[in-house]
Structures are given as C-alpha cells and as structure tokens.
Amino acid sequence: MKPSVKLIRKVVITNELGLHARAAAKIAKLAEGALAEVYIVKDGQEVDATDILDIIALYCPCGVEVAVRVADPADEKVLKDITRLIETGFGES
C-alpha cells in the first residue's frame, strides 16, 4: 500500500519584497502545470494559485507563513516545486 501524500505544506515567505507580482507569476506558472486545483492559503483565506491577482491580494510580506495545497495527490511535484520556489525567495537575491 502506497503511503498517503501530504497535500498541504506550510512555508514562510523569505523574499524581503514579500510575495509580489513577479513572484506570484512564477507560482501561477507552476500551478498551471497541475492536473487539478492548487491553492495558496493565508490566515484561512484560500485562493487559486493560478490567479496572479488573487495571490497578490493575500498580501504576504516577508516573514508571513502561507500554505500551499493541492487537490490531487498526483500533483505532489507541483506542491514541492512551489514550496521550494517560496523557500528560495522566488529565485531573487
């Protein structure tokens, strides 16, 4: 029996500019590759990770914890990729 996949991961925004438009676009691009829905969650508010404006509207400055959630266990790679993107400051220095 295959172990169950954790469909949600918590991560802290490390980029000093926070989750801004360019970063939201990178998340949306990864989320578009998913088989099912992908969400970004902050303080109980959940938005579609493919919608750049919805992501920006969450207002996530540096230091804020968000969660990334996928609806389908087959999208575990997308979940890991988005989490890694956030953890590495969206590839910006």
Q: Which of 18, 20, 54, 83 is catalytic?
A: 20
Residue 20 catalytic? Answer: yes
CA-to-CA distance for 52 and 79, rounded, in angstroms? 17
Within 8 A by CB and 6+ apart from 16, the residues are: 62, 89
Strands lying side by side in the sheet with 65-70 = 8-12, 65-70, 38-42, 45-48
List residues with catalytic annotation: 20
